[in-house]
Structure 1
Amino acid sequence: MASTTHETMGGRVAIVGTGSRAAMFVRGIVARPSSSVVAFCEPNSIRAAYYNELLVSLGAPEVPVYQPEDFKKMLREENVEIAVITCIDALHDLYIVPALEAGVQVLTEKPMTTDVEKCRRILETVQRTGQHLTVTFNYRYNPVHELVKRTISEGRIGEVLSVHFEWLLDTVHGADYFRRWHRQKSNSGGLMVHKAGHHFDLVNWWIDAEPETVAGFGKLAFYGEEAGKKHGWAKEYERARGSAEAKDDPFAIHLETDPTLKRIYADAESEDGYHRDQNVFAPGIGIEDDMSVMVRYNTGATLTYHLTAYSPWEGYRVMFNGSLGRLELEVVESQYRLPSSEDGMDGLIHGNQALPHAGGATVTLHKLWNEPENLPVKVEHAAHGGGDVRMLSVLFGPTPGQVAETGDASKQSANERDGALALAVGLLANESFRTGKFVDLESLNLPLY
């Protein structure tokens, strides 16, 4: 599976969805003279007003705000050349498809979408129109991940025979997916789709392979009403705002303590009723917090993957076993966490900041019959390990005075096929959780070829 080379974008940009992730794109676009934000598509006027204020603070003019049902009208009236999709995952296809049909360039946050029917619709639109899209897998641009890709591509461990990937989300950041819209699979596809898609794309890309068969087990082991009562963490409140009981809950977040969270969520909930601070031990949570997955690839390589969303520390370990040796990656994004009331909200506003108590990263090469070699790494913790900044440089070109990306990062943008293959692993894992069976990629009947 070859990497996709992306030509630099530029022009009139519309942002669809004004949650926290949109801020990275707004700041990045305004910083580049070749591009400008010309419209927002957002049903919540309070949240949209916050983003217009952000534009003004960055020296850009306010822009019109369109309702979702007026998306096509916005594309025409504002002469939109690029649509950036940052809304709820399950709604991505509602904007990707008409934008492609209108000949507009599309950038979408990962995951590309959340179920097989929507994925098929996107792929069929690509085939029908000849228009492609970019899925913003920002982890590909992380310098440490680039080093892993380069080391494997150079053949330093030979043929990759198996991979083990362990990912740990802590009890502040990990808990956050159980407080908000992600807690329902109908919105996010669960963590196998919304978050693990990062890693499934990385593995596909690292080992240059495509998934064929997936099996797994998933459970809600820690969060939710039943597990919370079992382990003694449960509280009875529905959401933290206005709750006396939540003040002493180490799993609660308090939106009013962070200016951004207050403006785009607490102040905006009067319009749409969305509560960003729900109780992680409430009934009705529909996603898993502990997942074990096995994947077989078309190269014969296998992956074992485990995600834990309630760990005391946050980070990941990846081990590649090859015919000439072994490569090991360890990243400690946070060595430990204190409750949000003590650590603050760092790391909760989607990658803007490093997590508190950040650790380091190591990449170790173990060649057969040789001493281990620690490869030199450049560690960045904010903005997804430096991936966000480098991704924006590749997609929209460098900012004034910034050196253009001409190395590895310039060659690794992901298209709709990459998005579909990462999504497929998560979808197949969810199906295996449900049925207890091995599931093949062919069963999805996706028009990939």
Structure 2
Amino acid sequence: MKTYAIVGAGSRCTSMFAVPLSTQFADVAKIVGVYDPNPKRAALLQQKCGGDFPVYSSFEDMVGQSKPDAVIVTTIDRYHHEYIIKALEMGCDAITEKPMTIDEEKCNAILETERRTGRKVTVTFNMRFRPFVVRIKELLKQGTIGQILHVNLEWFLDTSHGADYFRRWHRKKENSGGLLIHKSTHHFDFVNWLLEEEPVEVSAFGTLRFYGPTREERSERCLTCKYKQTCEFYYDIGSDPSIREMYLETEDADGYYRDQCVFSEEIDIEDSVSLSARFSEGATMSYSLTAYSPYEGFKLALSGSEGRIEAETFHGSVGPFAGEDINRLRIYNRRQEEITVKVPHVTGAHGGGDERLLKMIFRGGLSDPLNQQASSWDGALSNAIGFMANKSMREGRSVLFNELVKRPL
């Protein structure tokens, strides 16, 4: 029986880690404490998990008194490094939600602390566990298209999911590093994992032209906005009981509004980004993300020496694919054949990835022939593409990996 302490008691932590740990993994795992700067939210998580572990008033007290085997870090991104490093130094392993951290200085500090303490950091990249994505990896391992030469990846966030990043804490780079860190880290790890190469150089562009101060009809938050009857981005924070109790009913403890205006002047992250990347064995990548698409999903093309794989996923709550889960996978080989690969539909969060990821982490002892469980170095490689892209946008030049991330000795 392994023991876990949790720092950060938001919605992602509750659904992804806390509730599963206290139910389906209760025979092999035990939560021994939770800490969140908002004590009301921490108490709510405790309640949802049966209440058999304490809420602590400080992180140090929690780790020092409960002595967990590992700390699960699910705070705002800007604090990931702080709690990962403290956990390692206090003799625990760390399991962190993506992204591992938000800038190269914090990334290097995590890697150095892990090396120095001998403890382990695991990054929870659930895309590696989605059966649809796993099938792509298997085809590549079988040499279906030979050596991968180029990757083209387009990612689409719709005006429900995408807008949410602009009404929450993610909207400020000091909190999230921008979408190229918070969101795209999933996508970059996906590509790194498929290629089995390391990023070397990135050149990037980004703009904020859809959200942010683009209209006069705006307010501090949706709850008190006088334009709520006419704004298509009005978010009713009280309509979902779980969101209401987790955020609206706890905001007096920390002043955080979950329904801030997506047209606020304080927003400083991009809503459109594009980049070109070069990898260690010569592969290249073209990547783009838009946060205001009429539909949700991605389009991936892998061009190889022996053919091409094209993959598409569409889902979401708005647009032409609302309520659906569409996955398409095709192979084009040098014999001019088009082969459609049918991947069986699975249920579960994030295309079935969450459930399979948790099983790997908490059950343990499972074979991992595709190297799905991600380490701190995987987290750093994924982070690094975002770091390079952010620096490229700031300085108007291409940026090299070795300018930013230090490889552990």
Same fold? TM cut 0.5: yes
Instruction: Tell me what 1:328 maps to.
Output: 310
Are positions 1:51 and 2:45 aligned together?
Answer: yes
Contact 2:107–2:405 (CA under 8 A) maintained in structure 1: no
Match of 1:25 among 17, 35, 44: 17
1:435 equivalent to 2:402? Answer: no
Counterpart of 2:260, as a letter, is Q
Residue in structure 2 matched with residue 271 of structure 1 by the alignment: 253
Aligned equivalent of 2:143? 155
Residue 373 of structure 2, aligned match among 396, 405, 413: 413
Report if aligned partners of 1:328, 1:364 keep a CA contact under 8 Å in 2.
yes
Q: Which region of structure 1 is more displaced relative to structure 2, 148-157 or 389-398?
A: 389-398
1:131 shift after superposition: 1.5
Tell me the TM-score normalized by structure 2. 0.95
Between 152-161 and 237-246, report the one with greater CA deviation: 237-246
**Quick check: 1:237–1:246 contact (8 Å CA) kept in 2?**
no
Within-5 A mapping of 1:249-264: 249-264=231-246
- 1:293 aligned to 2:259? no
Structure 2 residue corresponding to 1:63, chosen from 22, 45, 53:
53
Q: Which runs of 5+ in 1 are unaligned?
A: 1-9, 339-354, 399-403
Cα deviation, residue 422, structure 1:
0.2
Q: Distance in 2 between matches of 1:408 and 1:164?
A: 26
Structure-2 separation of matches of 1:391 and 1:317: 23
Amino acid across the alignment from 2:53: V
Could you tell me how far 1:172 is from its partner in structure 2?
0.7
Q: 1:375 Cα shift?
A: 1.2
**Greater mean alpha carbon deviation, residues 194-203 or residues 25-34:** 25-34
Contact kept, 8 Å, 2:127 with 2:350, in 1: the verdict is yes
Greater displacement, 195-204 / 373-382: 373-382
SS in 1 for 2:11: coil
Shift of 1:21: 0.7
Q: Kindly indicate whether the alpha-carbon contact (under 8 Å) linking 2:218 and 2:225 is maintained by their aligned counterparts in 1.
A: no
Output the TM-score relative to the length of structure 1.
0.87
Give me the whole-angstrom Cα distance separating, in 2, the residues matched to 1:381 and 1:329. 19
Aligned twin of 1:36: 30
Q: Deviations over 1:304-353 (max 9, x none)?
A: 00001000000000000000000011001238449xxxxxxxxxxxxxxx
Closer, same or farther in 2 for the Cα pair 1:382/1:250, shift >3 Å? farther
Conserved in 2, the CA contact under 8 Å of 1:335 and 1:359?
no
State the match for 2:265 in structure 1: 283
Equivalent position amino acid for 1:251 in 2: F
Give the alignment partner of residue 353 of structure 2, picking from 371, 382, 387: 387
How far is the alpha carbon of 1:103 from its aligned partner?
2.1
1:282 Cα deviation after fit: 1.4
Shift of 1:381: 5.7
Which of 194, 213, 219 pairs up with 2:182?
194
The secondary structure found in structure 1 opposite 2:96 is strand
Measure, in 1, the Cα distance between the counterparts of 2:229 and 2:77. 31
Equivalence for 1:350: none
Q: Distance in 1 between matches of 2:235 and 2:331?
A: 41
Change (3 A) 1:407 1:113: closer
CA contact (8 A) 2:88 2:113 kept: yes
Cα 1:308–1:299 change in 2 (3 A) is: same
Q: Which of 3, 6, 24 pairs up with 1:12?
A: 3
CA distance in 1, matches of 2:176, 2:402: 23
Deviation at 1:52, TM superposition (A): 1.5
Alignment of 1:137 with 2:125, yes or no, is yes
| Distance apart, 1:242 and its partner CA | 2.7
* Counterparts of 1:206 and 1:247, CA distance in 2: 46
Aligned to 1:361, what secondary structure does the other structure show? strand
What are the residue-to-residue correspondences of 1:306-321 with 2, within 5 Å?
Answer: 306-321=288-303
Letter in 1 for 2:332: H
The farther-off stretch of 355-364 and 42-51 is 355-364
Distance 1:359 1:11 in 2: 35
* Cα distance in 2 between the residues matched to 1:163 and 1:15: 37
Which runs of at least 4 in structure 1 moved beyond 2 Å after TM superposition? 334-338, 378-382, 404-409
Q: After the TM superposition, which of the residue ranges 329-338 and 189-198 deviates more from structure 2?
A: 329-338
The Cα of 1:445 is off from its aligned counterpart by 4.2
Distance 1:329 1:236 in 2: 39
Structure 1 CA distance for aligned equivalents of residues 408 and 223 of structure 2: 46
Shift in Å at residue 259 of structure 1?
A: 0.6
What is the RMSD of the two structures over their aligned residues, measured on CA atoms?
Answer: 1.7
Question: How far off its partner does 1:72 sit?
Answer: 2.4
Q: Distance in 2 between matches of 1:407 and 1:213?
A: 29
- Residue 169 of structure 2 corresponds to which residue in structure 1? 181
The one of 195, 198, 202 equivalent to 1:214 is: 202
CA contact (8 A) 2:160 2:318 kept: no
SS in 2 for 1:255: coil
Percent of aligned pairs with the same residue?
41
The 1:381–1:336 alpha-carbon spacing in structure 2 relative to 1, beyond 3 Å, is farther
Deviation, structure 1 residue 243: 2.5
* Matched-pair contact (CA < 8 Å) for 1:124–1:447: no
On the 8 A contact 1:18/1:48 being kept in 2, the answer is yes
The residue number in structure 1 matching 2:339 is 373
Residue of structure 2 in register with 1:224 after alignment: 212
Tell me by how many angstroms 1:12 deviates.
Answer: 1.4
For 2:358 and 2:196, how far apart are their aligned partners in 1?
A: 24
Task: Give, as a single letter, the amino acid of the residue that structure 1 aligns with 2:253.
Answer: E
SS of 1:267 mapped into structure 2: helix
Between the aligned partners of 1:130 and 1:423, the Cα distance in structure 2 is 22
